[in-house]
Structure 1
Amino acid sequence: MDYPLLSLFWTMLEFFLFILWCFLLFKIITDIFRSHDMGGWGKAGWTVFIIVLPFLGVFVYLIARGNSMATRDLEQAQAADAAFRSYVQDAAGGQGDGTADSHVDDLAKLADLRSSGAISESEFQKAKGKLLA
């Protein structure tokens, strides 16, 4: 057991920096491929530059295109949010939008449930009251 405590801390720091470097490298590679303002040759050139000379390539990329990385992140987040909102709205089937048609449809469904015996008259009245309120 000849491994001093300072060496252990140094090893942990090196491991942490290696993981940090890997995350940064993958972030830049994904940013290269999602960039719409760069053509195929530009993407290929940056990718080769980052793979062949990783330290220099990453630093040059951050200096040259670092500002636009945040813009692309924001655009991607807004697109994902819009897609999620659209999915939720479609999954909800337009309920809760305040239109009279959705209330009529819901009342018709409640009446069908009551007539089939799935819900009682009191449950129907409660649901109808909530729907019309």
Structure 2
Amino acid sequence: MYLAYDYPLLNVFWTMLWFFLWVLWIILLFRIITDIFRDKDMSGWAKAGWLVLTILLPFLGVLVYVIARGKDMGRREIAQARAQQRDFDAYVREAASGGTRPSSVDELARLSELRSRGDITAEEFDRAKALVLTDDRTAPSPDPRPGRS
């Protein structure tokens, strides 16, 4: 009946603080374990050593890991986020364009037709054909006719 008197407000505060710190500790431990496996520069034995250290001596292992590799841990996470964003942007561009991109054969056929109609010269055809065959698609393809881009 008088349970509130048995557990004062300050004890509730300390319990909540310790619970919050415990949850924070678990999150940090899982982020470190994820980072151990994410690091491509670390050998298998080094990964195993860090993993054993963080599991058998969790407080010391996590503290040493954060001190020794904390800066690189952030860099790896940023690199992974950028790679995911790049992949997502490429997927969106591909989906927005309908997923169809003219093949090299289609482009060569179009160039051949332009040459046969006389719209481009043989030299322009050879230059454009070389671009198609090297699959240089990073730059927008200019109009092969001189003075028209």
Give the TM-score, by structure 2 length: 0.62
Matching residue within 44, 50, 56 for 1:46? 50
* Identical amino acids, percent of aligned pairs: 61
Which structure is larger by alpha-carbon Rg, 1 or 2? Answer: 2
1:54: Cα distance to partner? 0.3
| Map 1:118-129 → 2, pairs under 5 A | none
| Map 1:20-59 → 2, pairs under 5 A | 20-59=24-63
| Map 1:1-133 → 2, pairs under 5 A | 1=3, 2-93=6-97
Q: Which has the higher helix share?
A: 1
Residues 38-68 of structure 1: CA deviation (Å, up to 9, x unaligned): 0111111100000000000001001111110
Count of aligned residue pairs for this structure pair: 95
Amino acid at match of 1:26: F
Structure 1 stretches of 5 or more lacking a match?
A: 96-133
- SS at 1:22's partner residue? helix
- SS at 1:84's partner residue? helix
Structure 2 stretches of 5 or more lacking a match?
A: 100-149
Q: Which whole-Å CA distance do the structure 1 matches of 2:13 and 2:70 have between them?
A: 32
Structure 1 runs of 4+ off > 6 angstroms? none
Give the TM-score, by structure 1 length: 0.69
Tell me which residue corresponds to 1:103. Answer: none
What CA RMSD, in Å, does the superposition of the two structures yield over aligned residues?
A: 1.2
